[in-house]
Amino acid sequence: MFARRQNRNNDRSVRFLRPRDGRSPIAGDSGGGGSFVARALLPIATVALISLGPGSSPSAAAPEPPPPVLEPTAEQLVPQFWQRLAMCETTGRWDWGRYANTPQQRRLEGTRFEGGLGFAASTWQAWARAVRVLDDYPHAWMAPPLVQVRVAAYGLRHGGSWGCLRRDY
């Protein structure tokens, strides 16, 4: 299909290839139907566009999706001091007291102390009322960890104490 064209020095090295019919492989020809290269590459380009899908172009490959953003859990947002205190008081179970007097009751769980920080039920009611969250959370175990910490911080500022605070936290 292609013929070697000799250069001026009768050198048989290939300077460029030209189809035997004399048409330029790059420029458009006058024979109609577009350039030789375009006609030759049309099936390949069609396959490439079909494989990329609609609305895609060969130069713009689909970017990789960004990695998922992991939102911190409510427990991870709690300051370290309160996490350690909760670990000491209720082994970090912020819903302590939820299963009291039920078949799912955990060992040592009762109705006297509740929430991750082990609030006495009466203390929770007094401090939660002062912080204005008692209507939303009548029991400490119903409140999310950050609300429990807010109530506990109020209590600590006003002379409250926990048995585990005797340890070095």
Strand 17-19 and strand 2-4: the pairing is antiparallel
- pLDDT band at residue 63 under the 50/70/90 scheme: confident
pLDDT, tens digit (0-9, with 9 covering 90-100), for 120-134? 999 999 999 999 999
Please report, for the chain, the start and end positions of each structural domain, with discontinuous segments joined by +. 2-52, 80-166
The pLDDT value recorded for residue 66 is 81
The pLDDT value recorded for residue 168 is 58
- With a pLDDT cut of 90, the percent of the chain lying above it is 43
Distance separating the N- and C-terminal Cα atoms of the chain = 86
**Which DSSP string do the residues of the chain spell out, in sequence order?**
-EEE---TT-----S-EEETT---SSS--TTSSS-HHHHHHHHHHHHHHHHH-TT-BTTBPPPPPPPPPPPPPTTTTS-HHHHHHHHHHHTT-TTTTTTTTSTTPPTT--SSEETTTTEEHHHHHHHHHHHT-TTT-SSGGGS-HHHHHHHHHHHHHTT---GGGGS--
The pLDDT value recorded for residue 111 is 85
The pLDDT value recorded for residue 29 is 46
**Cβ of 18: how many Cβ atoms within 10 Å?**
16
Do residues 24 and 32 touch, judged by C-beta distance below 8 A? Answer: no
Which residue would you say has higher pLDDT here, 91 or 30? Answer: 91
Smallest Cα–Cα separation from 164: which of 108, 88, 82, 84?
88
Domain 80-166 has CATH 3.40.50.1370: no
Smallest Cα–Cα separation from 115: which of 77, 159, 158, 162?
162
